[in-house]
A and B are shown apart, each in its own frame.
Chain A
Amino acid sequence: EVQLVESGGGLVQPGRSLRLSCTASGFTFGDYAMSWVRQAPGKGLEWVGFIRSKAYGGTTEYAASVKGRFTISRDDSKSIAYLQMNSLKTEDTAVYYCTRDPLGGDYWGQGTLVTVSS
């Protein structure tokens, strides 16, 4: 059974950093691109970015709203995708989902809440 489990969310002050993890199981993690999608409270879905599989260079793409502040990486040996978030802003407050696929695929995690507030 495919499972994606996000962790690492919490309350953080503006300007600080936080790293989210997405632990995968039930499939060959290294064969897939992985993406992050977020949802601010009461708002719609926003694509954050994705990382290609190593077979496609393991490179990344980001939304303009997070480029330069957020970094997606992966550890295929541990089946984990990471979202490093730096210089956090109050508008980054959201539930962050990881999903299999560059855009938002057939499997999603349950999400982890990140609250940016002083």
Chain B
Amino acid sequence: QSVLTQPPSASGTPGQRVTISCSGSSSNIGSNTVNWYQQLPGTAPKLLIYSNNQRPSGVPDRFSGSKSGTSASLAISGLQSEDEADYYCAAWDDSLKGVFGGGTKLTVL
């Protein structure tokens, strides 16, 4: 059971906009920033969003993040087939532990 809650799956068609939610508590998302990671099959995770809504260099602006209260969201606009991957949210907890969501498998139909 992961500390952060994500839907196990999401899907969309090419060109569509999809969002993935991440729910936490006051001790993690509520008081710390959120990161998002993309993991393509058979590869290491890649940082997609940090500090709630910041994109590392090289990440397309189709990817955006937001946070409100104890929840966060990742939005992907203009969905492409290469976006098919597992997506994870993560946050620091006030207990000085890192916590991840269980992951969301995104399928591009």
Contact = CB atoms under 8 A, between A and B. Distances in A.
A50 B90 CA distance: 15
A47 B47 contact: no
B103 A45 contact: yes
Nearest to B6: A44
Contacts, number: 58
Interface string A35-52: 101000000111100100
Interface in B57-109: 86, 88, 90-92, 96-103
B21 interface: no
Given A104-B37, A104-B90, A47 B45 contact: no
Interface of A: 35, 37, 44-47, 50, 61-64, 97, 102-106, 108-111
12 contacts: A35-B98, A37-B45, A44-B88, A44-B101, A44-B103, A45-B100, A47-B97, A61-B97, A103-B92, A104-B47, A104-B98, A106-B56
